[in-house]
Amino acid sequence: MKRLSVSLLVGILAALWITMGTGLHTSYCLLSAQDTRPDKLSQQKSESAETRKPLIGIASLAGETYLHAIRSSGGIPVVLPCTDSNEIRINGYLEQLDGLLMPGGPDIPPSEYGEQPHPTVNLLGDDRYRFEKSLLDAWVNRSDKPLLGICLGSQWINVSHGGSLHQDIPSAFNVNHRGVTHMVRLEPDSRLANIFGETRFEVNSFHHQAVARLGNGLRIVAKSPDGIVEATESTDPNRFLLGVQWHPEKMPESDLQRKLFTAFIDACVTNAEKQPSSNPLIHVETGELPIILSAPHGGRNSIPDVPERLGVGSKKFVNVADSNTDRLTEKLADELQRQLGKRPYVVIARFHRKYLDVNRRAQWAYESDNARLAYDAYHQAISDARREIIERWGHGLLLDIHGQAADPVAIFRGTQNGKTTRNLTSRFGEQALIGETSLFGQLAKTGLTIVPEVDSTEREHDAFDGGYIVVTHGSQEEGSVDAIQLELGGRLRTKSMLEPTAEKLATAITAFATDYLPKSPLSEKVTEAVD
């Protein structure tokens, strides 16, 4: 809510300024003046903390409806392949994920609750059965992190707590819950009713099984009018653990059903913040500017159960960090907020490059599969930011921030010689990449040494001409977010130079944004305004 109220306030200020007849460009100045007030600054600080995005595992399925539900509620979805049921992998998930979504699917083998299968039973595949059983047992018993089960997922929750299922609703009750809609009635004092704020509503229904004997530590919190159990939750008031028999993700237009995902993501954030020994692998912030800052090589942390990479057979193997690029990127985000009045999107690696190099294609990025989750999450965070920027502003800029050891005072440009900024130059010409008003032109104006020089058509330095991140997320193939890799010399990244360097970078980015980036969102969504 705070995020919305801040963006609303900013929007109103901007609108006022525009109606006063002044150009959009200078609305930034007004806002930055407003934002230097201490109360406003602290408000925006807490806002960025609140928008930390949790990593949500989705067991076995990569269905777009599940991904969308998590993404649009503020989480980063991470698909967990069902071929990975080994214990070390699952321990890694327990440590690295902030929440788990168990999705829909076929039936659990009735042997799990001591019964012979009914003829209508359609069993889960072996891999998926083994994986989901191990994952859920571990998640329920060895973690206190939030868990949301949908349809099969809710049946799994009951079975993993020692409960049983009605194997076929039509045979047992002579009613049908497949391909219909029906009412549900919620227990008024339940977590579920508290989330929805209502105790009676209609849901979709695609199941032929349901809870029979209730598992230990669970309570029934919703039923259909014909008496079928439609939702269960933990009896522990401190644990977000609940399963619903309907499919809220198939109702993306429903404000009511969205509340379930929002509550789930909120619980994941709250839980992650109270973890005493949390060792986050990636720092992600949602922005209010069409700018993404990425810093893949500045992290220092290890990744659970991941050994150092050896680089055998790799041509471009590097396992030293780009020192202080993580801190520089944090300071740059703060400085942009000071100069532009709003924060950029931020994705910073907290893991050390010797365990995982996200600026390489997957094949060369990691050697232990336990690093895959962090790899996927890093790229997912950039993709999500990029998608949001295109939706909200139409165009944007990704800056991938690195360190180089070739020239201690220089900044090298990396765009694959213009390929990753194709959208920019197709709209504004080559000058937007190499000229005085280009980002590097503006950097030169602040006194920084840039390579290639302003107006030079010289090729970019072979070693720094743009890696996997800018190639993947820039405008090379399609899309309207341009990507530039910045490779900063060591003297620009010493501890005492971080602030002056961040200030110069922000000054150049602000000038570039004034000339080349959209000044305000395409349209503030009406739903946001009334929330």
Query: How far is residue 303's CA from residue 96's CA, in Å, rounded to a whole number?
Result: 9
Beta bridge partners of residue 89, listed in sequence order: none
Please identify which residue in 133, 145, 177, 422 interacts with Zn ion, judged by CB under 5 A.
177
Pick the stretch among 146-154, 315-323, 498-506, 523-531 that binds Zn ion (CB under 5 A): 315-323
- Burial of 108 from C-beta contacts in 10 A (0-12 / 13-18 / 19+): buried
CB of 182 to Zn ion, least distance (A): 6
Gap between the Cα atoms of 437 and 452, Å rounded: 15
Query: Active-site residue among 161, 166, 177, 247?
Result: 247
Task: Return the residues of window 187-226 that contact Zn ion according to CB under 5 A.
Answer: 205
Min dist. Cβ of residue 359 to Zn ion (A): 6
- Token pair recorded at residue 34: 């407003």
Residue tagged 């197709």 (tokens): 426
**C-beta of 84 vs 322, nearer to Zn ion:** 322
Burial of 471 (0-12, 13-18, 19+ CB in 10 A): buried
Q: Interface residues for Zn ion in 263-302 (CB under 5 A)? A: 297
Which C-beta is closer to Zn ion: that of 288 or that of 322? 322
Helices (H), 342-436: 362-365, 372-392, 422-428, 431-434
Q: Exposed, middle or buried by CB within 10 Å (0-12, 13-18, 19+), for 32?
A: middle
Q: Smallest distance from the beta carbon of 271 to Zn ion, in angstroms?
A: 29
Nearest to 475 by CA among 395, 409, 412, 365: 395
156: which 2 tokens? 């799994």
Indicate the Cα dihedral angle 434, 439, 440, 444, nearest 10°.
120
Query: Rounded to the nearest whole angstrom, what is the least distance from the CB of residue 326 to Zn ion in the complex?
Result: 11
DSSP 113: G
CB-nearer residue toward Zn ion: 364 or 428 = 364
Residue 82 annotated as catalytic: no
Distance from the Cα of residue 456 to its chain's centroid: 38
Catalytic member of 249, 285, 330, 335: 249
Nearest residue (CB) to Zn ion, 53 versus 208: 208
Listed residue (418, 400, 422, 298) closest to 354, CA to CA: 298
With a CB cutoff of 8 Å and minimum separation 6, the contacts of 321 are: 297, 298, 299, 300, 352, 353, 354
- Separation of alpha carbons 85 and 129, rounded Å: 10
Based on CB atoms, which residue is closest to Zn ion, 322 or 334?
A: 322
Taking CB under 5 A as the rule, does residue 71 contact Zn ion? Answer: no
* 132 vs 128: CA distance, rounded Å: 6
Closer residue to Zn ion in complex, CB, 62/406 = 406
Compute how many other C-beta atoms are within 10 angstroms of the C-beta atom of residue 16: 11
User: Which residues have CB under 8 Å from 76's CB, separation 6+?
Assistant: 53, 54, 55, 56, 70, 284, 377, 380, 381, 384
> Is 461 known to be catalytic?
no
* Type and span of the H or E element at 180: strand 178-186
Please calculate the CA angle 205-210-216 and round it to the nearest 5 degrees.
135
Pick one of 191, 402, 413, 504: the residue that binds Zn ion (CB under 5 A): 402
Which residue of the set 47, 82, 151, 208 is catalytic?
A: 151
Q: Cβ 485 to Zn ion, closest distance in Å?
A: 8
To Zn ion, the closest distance from the beta carbon of 206 in angstroms equals 8
Do the strands 210-211 and 165-166 form a parallel or antiparallel pair, or are they unpaired?
antiparallel
Residue closest to Zn ion, measured at CB: 402
151 catalytic, yes or no? yes
What residues contact 486, with CB distance under 8 A and at least 6 apart? Answer: 399, 400, 401, 402, 411, 412, 413, 414, 505
The strands making up 229-234's β-sheet, listed across from edge to edge, are 76-80, 55-59, 99-102, 147-150, 241-244, 229-234, 218-223, 178-186, 200-206
Of residues 322 through 361, those in contact with Zn ion by CB under 5 A are 322
In the complex, the residues that contact Zn ion under the rule CB under 5 A are 177, 205, 245, 297, 322, 402
Which residues have a catalytic role annotated?
151, 247, 249
